[in-house]
Copies of this chain bind each other. A is one copy, B any other.
Amino acid sequence: MTKPTPLSGFPELLPEQRYVEQQVVDTLRATFELYGFAGIETRAVEPLDQLLRKGDTSKEVYLLRRLHEESAEGHAGIGLHFDLTVPFARYVLENAGKLEFPFRRYQIQKAWRGERPQEGRYREFTQADIDIIGRDDLPFHHDVEVTRVMVDALGRLSFLPGFRLQVNNRKLIQGFYAGLGVTDTDEVMRVVDKLDKLPVEKVRTMLLTEAGVDEPTADRVLALATIRSADDSFVEAVRALGVEHPLLEEGLDELAQLVRSVTDLVSDRVRVEADLSIARGLDYYTGTVFETRLDGYESMGSICSGGRYDALATDGRTTYPGVGISLGVSRVVVPLMARTGLAATRKVPSAVVVAVVTEESRPVSESVASALRARGIPCEVAASAQKFGKQIRYAERRGIPYVWFPSADGDHEVKDIRSGDQVAADPAAWAPPEVDLRPQVVSTSSTNEAQETNQ
């Protein structure tokens, strides 16, 4: 077999990179569980009719076929899921009788889309979703809840750049448009959604020609979309535009509550702002909507999005409203690794290499390793009884900070190979400093270099 080449769009990580991704996933999971969210996984495949219901993504679905398909019995109609929302909605309907509502779940899994690969866009990628689903109804305070959970989780990912959560409310937009007398609010929203790609003048023209609104209306629609604030002062800015509608009031009230509710969790690294230009393309959102930008990577677009849907799923008799957010784990970590060299400080979990004096005395080294492991210290025994200098190099190449020199008569010593300090040590008592117990996550490229690539 000649050397294989990577498959475009299917990123794979080296061990020291995978450690970072695993840390992200572990931190998210621990935070989600702290808020009472239960973890589930759904199968990778869904029936095609489910996958094709959303027109946008249908062309990107991967179909499955068994190599030797056996007529009718085969899975002619299945494909890989392209997100975790479609499978979750199906899971809720399938298991509704066995779940307790409101049902809080997190789901961290891979998804697949056959789209053209580019930075932050992959054909295989990991998503981390949280949703709260109610049966028949779901009070607004759950919108606040999912926001708080995600802001808290992002705050704990301290080795990543900062995040800016942008929140809006579809009731606010639709109420504003209705108060303006706009009839086709969906079309106006669709045009306004282009503000992040097209110049304002171009969007204004489209509002007049495509959405068929008059000039004063177009100007106020655009004025609304420029409003943003990190506190609830956006309410006054909207009121100043002189539009009134009950749905607008409801949206203003909800969004103001949301922004006020996270003040204890926001920081310089993780900010939350009301941004009235955010609408989210998908039409099933009915209230709160979220997008999130990663500092320094704004051009990638939103890396964490979601919102409120009044009917995540329905079986005809019962409707399940929900609110949720989905974080693109691969979208965040893979570009960071490429640009800043984000990686673990070592290639292995081991904090210690136990040296081997001679192959005959390997059991002595093994018993030292067992004693360290019994106290939770990850370690490995050297692969061969080379000269100690070579065994130290073995540790160095892997980034392992300590080498243990065992002794059959009990005179053990341990060396910090970074400082060269070597001290007597007891396998039943010695432990590395807490910071050395696990690999740390660091950016290995200089900040300047990262900045440059960034442009």
Q: Decide if A98 touches B44 in the complex (CB within 8 Å).
A: no
Q: Decide if A15 touches B43 in the complex (CB within 8 Å).
A: no
Contacts known (A62-B64, A66-B63, A114-B66); A102 close to B4, Cβ less than 8 A: no
**A67 CB contacts on chain B under 8 angstroms:** 52, 58-63, 79, 114
Instruction: Using CB atoms, name the residue of chain B closest to A92.
Output: B4
Q: Top 7 closest A-B pairs, CB basis?
A: A36-B380, A36-B350, A66-B114, A15-B38, A33-B349, A10-B43, A59-B68
Tell which of B15, B139, B397 touches A383, judged by Cβ atoms closer than 8 Å: B139
Given contacts A22-B39, A62-B67, A100-B348, could you give 6 more A-B pairs where the C-beta distance is less than 8 Å? A4-B50, A60-B66, A65-B65, A104-B380, A139-B383, A139-B384
Judged by a CB distance under 8 angstroms, whether A335 is at the interface is no
Number of interface residues of A (CB under 8 A): 92
**A19 CB contacts on chain B under 8 angstroms:** 38-39
Q: Decide if A40 touches B18 in the complex (CB within 8 Å).
A: yes
Which of A157-165, A175-183, A311-319 makes up part of the contact surface? A311-319
Query: Chain B's nearest CB lies how many Å from the CB of A284?
Result: 13
Instruction: Using CB atoms, name the residue of chain B closest to A48.
Output: B67
Can you list 24 pairs linking A and B with CB atoms under 8 Å apart?
A1-B315, A1-B316, A3-B94, A4-B94, A7-B78, A12-B41, A14-B99, A15-B38, A15-B105, A18-B40, A34-B379, A35-B378, A36-B348, A36-B378, A37-B348, A38-B348, A44-B112, A45-B124, A59-B66, A62-B66, A63-B66, A74-B114, A100-B347, A264-B370
**A14 CB contacts on chain B under 8 angstroms:** 40, 95, 98-99
Chain A positions near chain B (C-beta within 8 angstroms): 1-7, 10-16, 18-19, 22, 33-45, 47, 50, 52, 58-68, 74-75, 78-80, 90-91, 93-96, 98-100, 102, 104-105, 110, 112, 114, 124, 134, 139, 141-142, 145, 264, 313-316, 347-350, 362, 370, 373, 376-381, 383-384, 397-398
**A398 CB contacts on chain B under 8 angstroms:** 100
Contacts known (A315-B2, A348-B36); A41 close to B64, Cβ less than 8 A: no
Q: Decide if B60 touches A41 in the complex (CB within 8 Å).
A: no
Query: Chain B's nearest CB lies how many Å from the CB of A122?
Result: 10
Q: Decide if B13 touches A41 in the complex (CB within 8 Å).
A: yes
**A68 CB contacts on chain B under 8 angstroms:** 59
Q: Give the CA-CA distance A347 to B104 in the complex, in Å.
A: 10
Instruction: Using CB atoms, name the residue of chain B closest to A67.
Output: B61
**A12 CB contacts on chain B under 8 angstroms:** 40-43, 91, 94
**Most B-side CB within 10 Å, residue of A11, A15, A139:** A15
Q: Give the CA-CA distance A103 to B41 in the complex, in Å.
A: 30
Q: Decide if A3 touches B34 in the complex (CB within 8 Å).
A: no
Tell which of B13, B35, B94 touches A380, judged by Cβ atoms closer than 8 Å: B35
Q: Give the CA-CA distance A400 to B379 in the complex, in Å.
A: 38
Instruction: Using CB atoms, name the residue of chain B closest to A6.
Output: B94
Instruction: Using CB atoms, name the residue of chain B closest to A15.
Output: B38
Q: Decide if B66 touches A64 in the complex (CB within 8 Å).
A: no
Q: Decide if A349 touches B79 in the complex (CB within 8 Å).
A: no
Q: Decide if A124 touches B44 in the complex (CB within 8 Å).
A: yes
Q: Decide if B41 touches A44 in the complex (CB within 8 Å).
A: no
